[in-house]
Amino acid sequence: MPLDKRWFSILNMSSAKPPPRDDRTAKSRIRDAAIQCFAKHGIADTTARRVAEAAEVSPGLIIHHFGSMEGLRLACDGFVASRIRELKEGAAAAGPNLDVLAAIRESDAGYLLGYLAAVLTEDSPAVARLVDDLVADAERYTEHFVEAGIMRPSENPRGRAALLVVWSLGALALHNHLERLLGVDLTDPEVTADPSFAAYALPVYEFFGGVLSGAFAEHAKSAFSAPPQGESK
């Protein structure tokens, strides 16, 4: 399934209530802060000090947990790949009646796609390993989509997985042009709340109609074709 910044939700909390206790370990806080810093500032401008400030820890604690910024970067890569895999596996488990819009609203992975958009511009062995991991994961979960009746079988599962990942990552890498052409910013965490998102989603499902099962393709397209609640066509 195409990767994009749809997979994100925001929890609104009253300012009258105390903030929830952060139960994450210092290591996971550093990793999450690094993902957000890489997404916002890019690879070259994300320093240990910047990440430490975002995570509210000392720069030395980053070295303690990850050894170096390169070690931190590899940990971010692994986490992003694993979360994408979990989301895809969850969608496969839901089967052809998957509530597409609910899955988009309730997921927490939007900021992960911003990370991908930032790191994909770097031509390095680290990026090559990340793409390889994403393709290997895609080959597994697309087979689960086939078993669930969401995708059609393929005579070349690995080739299909590789193309789906590369095309999807390409949309992220070229998100500025996609926004210019369709008015949809895939790096905006709130993109799915904008009615213009259908300008991206509908062509995606139309384009992948030969990959998806006929029933699921129509199911997904109808979800984005329907007017927002409270409005009529």
Query: Per-residue confidence of the chain (233 residues) as pLDDT tens digits?
Result: 444 433 333 222 222 333 344 557 899 999 999 999 998 898 889 999 999 999 999 999 999 999 999 999 999 999 998 888 887 888 777 766 666 656 655 555 567 778 888 888 888 888 999 999 999 999 998 998 898 888 899 999 999 999 989 988 888 888 889 899 988 887 776 666 667 777 887 888 777 777 877 777 777 677 666 554 444 44
What per-residue confidence (pLDDT) applies to 135?
93
Q: Rounded to 5 degrees, what are φ and ψ at 212? A: -80, 155
| CA distance linking residue 29 with residue 22, whole number of Å | 9
What per-residue confidence (pLDDT) applies to 13?
25
Residue 40 domain flag? no
| CA distance linking residue 22 with residue 121, whole number of Å | 33
What per-residue confidence (pLDDT) applies to 102?
61
Residue 120 domain flag? yes
The CA-atom distances, in angstroms, between 120 and each of 63, 77, 153, 171 are 24, 11, 29, 11
Residue 196 domain flag? yes
pLDDT digits (tens, 9 = 90+) for 123-182: 888 899 999 999 999 999 899 889 888 889 999 999 999 998 998 888 888 888 989 998
Token readout for 185 is 């910013």
Residue 35 domain flag? no
Residue 135 domain flag? yes
Q: What is the CATH number of the domain that holds 166?
A: 1.10.357.10
Residue 140 domain flag? yes
Helices and strands of the chain, counted as H and E runs: 11, 0
Residue 172 domain flag? yes
What per-residue confidence (pLDDT) applies to 31?
95
- By the 10 Å C-beta count (0-12 exposed, 13-18 middle, 19+ buried), 124 is classed as exposed
Structural domain count, the chain: 1
For residue 113, give the nearest of 72, 172, 176, 42 by alpha carbon.
172
What per-residue confidence (pLDDT) applies to 76?
94
Residue 15 domain flag? no
Token readout for 223 is 């979800």
Q: Taking each helix axis from N to C terminus, what angle separates 175-182 and 157-173, rounded to the nearest 10 degrees? A: 70
What per-residue confidence (pLDDT) applies to 10?
25
Q: Rounded to 5 degrees, what are φ and ψ at 154? A: -130, 145
Q: Cβ neighbours of residue 159 under 8 Å, at least 6 residues apart?
A: none
Q: What is the largest CA-CA distance in the chain?
A: 57
What per-residue confidence (pLDDT) applies to 1?
41
Q: Which domain holds residue 172?
A: 73-225
Token readout for 60 is 């030395």
Q: Rounded to 5 degrees, what are φ and ψ at 31? A: -60, -45
